[in-house]
């Protein structure tokens, strides 16, 4: 599928191909009717300087769904670091949950223009997963159940800027929001925080993911409104 740059998120929602995280019916291989949840709550005024341009604040946690939500049994779940590394790494769910984790309170911003403030997560820093790994790579590709991928520069995942989150608001992360685990990269638009993540592949060159090759900005800085090609 190839989409022109002027196509916007609302158009993709109407066509039934957009999810809030960038996962799509095309990736899932199905095109059921669109199901929209979370956009019925009232919008709130954005605190000055707190929310990027063009965003509105919501108390809801919107979900735009097209296609089935993966439900990977925990006994079959794993997370891998692969690609341009001295030695690949792999953790089972139990091993992953045994790693040091922390609570994170951050604002999140979706390309569909909603922002949610002071969200509380628990997760494992990407720095922890990369500890001791030698690499010359400058880029990463996050890959997920269902075939979704998204690219993020390695420096945007390190230095305490990104996590693999397994809990939201004190509860296990629900599948509809990406559980059992999703990326959390709060300084970029939320499609970069891939749901249902299963690993990171480190690469020496930038490899745009699904939405980046179909009209979305390659980087996705919400403060610069980098939503689409040309922004």
Residue count (the chain): 231
pTM of the model: 0.84
3-state helix, strand, coil in the chain (%, to 5): 15, 30, 55
What digits encode the pLDDT tens for the residues 104-127? 999 999 999 999 999 999 999 999
Superfamily of domain 9-224: Oxidoreductase, molybdopterin-binding domain (3.90.420.10)
pLDDT at position 206 over 90: yes
- Answer yes or no: are the C-beta atoms of 104 and 123 closer than 8 Å: yes
Give the pLDDT of residue 67. 53
Position 4 scores a pLDDT of: 37
Average pLDDT over residues 168-186: 97
Q: Average the pLDDT over 152-168 and give the result.
A: 98
Quick one: DSSP state of residue 85? Answer: S
* Cα–Cα nearest to 199, from 57, 81, 28: 81
- Is 10 strand, coil or helix? helix
| HSE-CB of 4 using CA atoms within 13 angstroms | 3
Residue extents of the structural domains in the chain:
9-224
Q: Which two tokens stand for residue 108?
A: 């999140």
Q: Is 32 helix (H, G, I), strand (E, B) or coil?
A: coil
Residue 16, pLDDT above cutoff 70: no
Q: How far is CA 161 from the centre of its chain?
A: 13
CA distance 33 to 130: 40
Q: 66 falls in which pLDDT band (50, 70, 90)?
A: very low
What are the start-end ranges of the E strands in the chain? 35-37, 56-57, 63-65, 78-83, 89-92, 102-109, 114-125, 139-144, 149-153, 163-168, 171-172, 182-184, 197-203
**Cis before 217 (ω within 30):** no
Token pair, residue 138, equals 């400058």
């Amino acid at each position: 599928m190839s989409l022109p740059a002027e196509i916007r998120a609302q158009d993709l929602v109407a066509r039934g191909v957009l999810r809030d995280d960038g996962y799509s019916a095309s990736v899932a291989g199905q095109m059921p009717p669109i199901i929209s949840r979370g956009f019925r709550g009232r919008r709130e005024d954005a605190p000055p300087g707190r929310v990027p341009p063009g965003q509105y604040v919501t108390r809801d946690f919107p979900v735009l769904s097209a296609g089935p939500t993966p439900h990977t049994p925990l006994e079959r779940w794993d997370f891998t670091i692969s690609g341009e590394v001295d030695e690949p790494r792999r953790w089972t769910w139990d091993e992953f949950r045994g790693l040091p984790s922390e609570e994170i309170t951050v604002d999140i911003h979706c390309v569909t223009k909603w922002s949610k403030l002071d969200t509380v997560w628990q997760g494992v820093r990407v720095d922890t997963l990369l500890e001791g790994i030698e690499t010359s790579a400058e880029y990463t590709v996050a890959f997920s159940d269902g075939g979704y991928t998204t690219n993020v520069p390695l420096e945007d995942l390190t230095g305490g800027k990104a996590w693999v989150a397994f809990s939201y608001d004190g509860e296990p992360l629900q599948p509809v929001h990406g559980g059992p685990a999703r990326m959390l990269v709060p300084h970029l638009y939320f499609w970069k925080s891939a749901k249902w993540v299963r690993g990171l592949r480190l690469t020496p060159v930038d490899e745009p993911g699904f939405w980046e090759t179909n009209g979305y900005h390659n980087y996705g800085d919400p403060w610069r409104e980098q939503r689409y090609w040309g922004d």
